[in-house]
Amino acid sequence: MADQKNRFSATTPGKRFMKLAGMSASIASNFAKDKVKRMVGVQADEEQRLRERQELYIEVGRQLATTLGEMKGAVMKVGQIASQFKDIFPKEIADALATLQKESPPMPFALIEAQIVKELGQPIDQLFAEFHTEPFAAASIGQVHRARTHDGHDVVVKVQYPGVDACVESDLKHLRMALKMAGLLRIDKAIIDAVFDEIRRSLRDELDYTTEAANVRMFAEFHRNDPKIIVPCVHEHLSTQRILTLDFEPGDHVSQMGLYPQTMINELGHRLFHAIGSQIYSLHAVHCDPHPGNFAFRPDGTLIIYDYGCVKKIKPEIVEAVRQTTLAALHRDYHDMDKAMIAMGVRNIDHQPSLQGDFYAPWSQLIMQGFSALPYDFAHARLHEDVMAQLKRNLPYWKSFQPSPDTMLVQRAIGGHYWTMKQMGVVAAFREDLQAIIGEPV
């Protein structure tokens, strides 16, 4: 109990600052020791220096993941987002932060109960006919409990942790300061500013459950003509800015799909592909949290999509730039591809005004494997390994690219669903699906 109490003790901006400051001082000290060692030590060969730097990054990543995981709230959510972007952090650190994607320890129920009473104005037994004190799921900014309403609906109740919203600005400020002190932010200040502004916007939306409820209604309306896509219904009278009550819509986790026939796995792969693609190109808003727990499946081919806190509304000109990039890849038009990448904001023309086929051709061949006209076996795919190998070959080009606030969450969604397809074991050809979604004649 004492350990659990200590885990949630950093609940004020001041206490959280001290915890982050302690972490950053420790990280900075590790880097300083490494620098001194390299200055006064015996000359090491390049392989040894790389190995020592990798070990340092692994240790720093462990410190970051441990501290942010204990603190919950904005910094933990930022850590989860950061794990998706290896152009902001060294790979070893991004990999360590990826552990924050796992379900986090729950908060004591007394705190959850107090939050529900404060928000909804009545004791739990008056609000619900039945309420499970054990959490159904626990995440960075809130946790979910099963319940039943007095009119007999099975529901899930998403409860925001007390004080999380009050600490967002200070959390972001202090985390950025800690990362800067540790020398881990390795892109230009203007880009860092834009990235953190996008993270701040995303967090603000996630912390306002009335915004999430509006997102749920928007996506339900968008998918209303497809009976095989389920968006859980909001119970308005049991929802506030910090409480969100939704219909309980059960389904199988992706890890349970081994018992599904391959034909059904492939059908669900097509349904997921079409859902995300049509959101980007037709709705201009996409569900941006590809965590496996946010998607469930049923043996009849039904796809259930949960958690609409992280939704990116995409500017029409950015949607068009993404479309032009895809068309250029399909037609191997690398001049148009470079123009579209610049329009998306991911190409830094200050470093290199133009890139052509010698750079883009290998990338297009790699990425388009997943959009082949022939069935692609995601279960045995090594696309992620090939991408990392290509990145190493393209080290001289790294300064020609940068994170784009307009597309980083979209890229997070698309990249995350490669892993979803892999976990599902999909074997399917997506070329015709892609052409239909972007409006390219088959």
> Could you give the 3-state DSSP secondary structure of residue 225?
coil
Bridge pairing between strands 311-313 and 303-305 = unpaired
Provide the CB-side half-sphere exposure for 259 (13 A, CA). Answer: 8
Q: Which two tokens stand for residue 175?
A: 């985390």
Q: Is 128 within 8 Å of 148 (Cβ atoms)?
A: yes
Neighbours of 321 (CB within 10 A): 23
CA distance 91 to 169: 27
Q: What is the mean pLDDT of residues 300-312?
A: 94
Split at pLDDT 50, 70, 90, the class of 89 is: low
**Structural domains of the chain, ranges and CATH numbers in brackets:** 2-105+165-191 (no CATH), 108-160+208-249 (3.30.200.20), 251-442 (no CATH)
pLDDT tens, residue by residue, 337-364: 999 999 998 998 887 788 887 899 999 9
Q: Which amino acid is at 87?
A: D
Q: What is the mean pLDDT of residues 71-75?
A: 65
Between vectors from CA 199 to CA 143 and to CA 236, what angle results, nearest 5°? 45
Split at pLDDT 50, 70, 90, the class of 244 is: very high
Give the single-character DSSP code of 161. Answer: P
Q: Which two tokens stand for residue 348?
A: 């830094």
Residue with tokens 């796809």: 303
pLDDT tens, residue by residue, 188-229: 666 667 777 777 787 888 889 999 999 999 999 999 999 999
CA distance 135 to 132: 7
The beta strands (E) that lie in 334-439 are given as 376-377, 427-428
Phi, psi of 42 (to 5 degrees): -70, 140
Bridge partners, residue 268, by sequence = none
Q: What is the pTM of this model?
A: 0.79
> Could you give the 3-state DSSP secondary structure of residue 406?
coil
Of residues 172 and 318, which shows the higher confidence score? 318
Q: Which has the closest alpha carbon to 246: 353, 153, 339, 124?
A: 153
Give the single-character DSSP code of 353. Answer: S
CA distance 417 to 383: 13
Non-local (6+) Cβ contacts of 99 within 8 A are 65, 69
Question: In the predicted model, is pLDDT for residue 328 greater than 80?
Answer: yes
Provide the CB-side half-sphere exposure for 217 (13 A, CA). Answer: 10
301: alpha, beta or left? (left if phi > 0; alpha if psi -120 to 50): left
Q: Of 38-47, 83-92, 160-169, 201-210, which one has max mean pLDDT?
A: 201-210
The beta strands (E) that lie in 316-356 are given as none
Q: Which two tokens stand for residue 266?
A: 């492939």
Phi, psi of 235 (to 5 degrees): -100, 95
Q: What stretch of H or E contains 354? A: none
The predicted pLDDT at position 84 comes to: 54
Split at pLDDT 50, 70, 90, the class of 101 is: low
Residues in the chain: 442
Neighbours of 101 (CB within 10 A): 19
Bridge partners, residue 158, by sequence = 144, 244
Instruction: Give CA torsion, residues 144, 269, 95, 176, to 10 deg.
Output: -60
Please give the order of strands across the beta sheet that includes 229-230: 229-230, 303-305, 295-297
* Rg (alpha carbons) of the chain, rounded to whole number: 23
- DSSP notation for 37-65: HHHHSPPPPHHHHHHHHHHHHHHHHHHHH
Residue 269 C-alpha from the chain's centroid: 20
Q: Which has the closest alpha carbon to 274: 422, 417, 416, 423?
A: 417
Q: Of 192-201, 297-306, 394-403, 404-413, which one has max mean pLDDT?
A: 297-306
Neighbours of 118 (CB within 10 A): 12
Q: Which has the closest alpha carbon to 372: 430, 437, 439, 435?
A: 430
Question: In the predicted model, is pLDDT for residue 433 greater than 70?
Answer: yes
Give the single-character DSSP code of 407. Answer: T
Split at pLDDT 50, 70, 90, the class of 11 is: low
CA distance 234 to 307: 12
- When mean pLDDT is compared across 190-199, 296-305, 312-321, the lowest value belongs to 190-199
CA distance 187 to 377: 36
